[in-house]
Amino acid sequence: MYAAMLNKKIVLAVSEANMVNTGQKNLNIDDYRCPHCHKKVILIISEQKAAFFKHLTSYSNAMGEKEEHHQSKMLLKAALTAAGFNAQVEIPLADGQLRADVLASEKLAFEVQCAPLSDTEFRHRHLLYSEIGVTDIWIVGQRHYLKKKLKHTQSIFFRKNKLWGNYYLEINPKKNVFCLKYNVLQEPVTNNLHYQVKYFALDELDMKMFWHFKPIKRDYPININNQKKYLRKQLAQKTKLGLKIGELLYCKGLTVDSLPDEVFSTWRNPGEVDSVTKFLQK
């Protein structure tokens, strides 16, 4: 579709793409509508062919996981294809033991995870990818979105590289974007996370930008007293963490106050054992 309605007027995809490319407007901030059915459409910009509009199915906030998963795969495939990948969906691999959600190339696959996933099932699928020499990139739906505190079920989706540190990928098909949460670190004792965020549109331009994104990573401040306060609370309430650290402190003949401040100021990777336990187990 090479034309759409915008503010009750017909606009051409080529003209709208030119305005985006010259910085006169941001991609898909306008409410484009199909001239025939009046449903929402989005602008797709590609170097491989002329710009065009395509329908974007609208979902309510209660989007089902199957709908979210399907829409995410289709949008991701479209963005990768526009960026020059020969992307395909639902491709069987490893003699049928594995099915890639989106196979971008012979050596690169994207797994879109919207439903719950056990550690065992993740390890099984990840190992199969490794055995056939395919890099698996996991991108999660709204069930697994990263917030202020780390959940155990989220730990498996983290990856790490030199540019981004620990990073985490999320997809939002309703907004036609995916999100990179990078430089992710967990506080020494608590489940609190600190991270930076960068959003990318699911289109050719931002997909290419994503591969070459070089951020400036921030240093996060840490409040040592808050870490000690949290630990004391765990000890007093005899939580699982409190009982474990309490036993270690007793065996070492130590108290919270006798621990060095370094223990309460050392950041950790998401899901790693807390810094106090690590120190006491040395």
Q: Of the candidates 195, 147, 173, which has an alpha carbon nearest to the alpha carbon of residue 40?
A: 173
What's the pLDDT at 158?
Answer: 96
Percent of the chain exceeding pLDDT 70 equals 95
What's the pLDDT at 60?
Answer: 39
Global pTM reads: 0.77
Q: Who wins on pLDDT, 38 or 161?
A: 161
Q: Of the candidates 276, 189, 266, which has an alpha carbon nearest to the alpha carbon of residue 220?
A: 266
- The one-letter code for the residue type at 162 is K
What's the pLDDT at 12?
Answer: 92
Q: Where are the beta strands (DSSP E) in 56-107?
A: 88-93, 98-105
- The DSSP symbol for 88 reads E
The mean pLDDT of the chain is 91
If pLDDT is split at 50, 70 and 90, which confidence band does 231 have?
very high
Helix and strand numbers, DSSP H then E, in the chain: 7, 12
Helices 65-82, 204-211: axis angle to 10 degrees equals 80
Pairwise CA distance, residues 229 & 48, whole Å: 58
What's the pLDDT at 2?
Answer: 85
Contact 120, 92 (CB under 8 A): no
CB-based contacts of 272, cutoff 8 Å, min separation 6? 186, 278
pLDDT in tens, 27-45: 777 889 998 888 888 888 7
Name the residue with tokens 């995870």: 113
What's the pLDDT at 46?
Answer: 66
| pLDDT for 126 beyond 70 | yes
What's the pLDDT at 228?
Answer: 96
Question: What value does the mean pLDDT take over residues 84-106?
Answer: 92
Q: Which of 37-41, 93-97, 129-133 has the lowest mean pLDDT?
A: 37-41
Q: Of the candidates 176, 231, 233, which has an alpha carbon nearest to the alpha carbon of residue 206?
A: 176
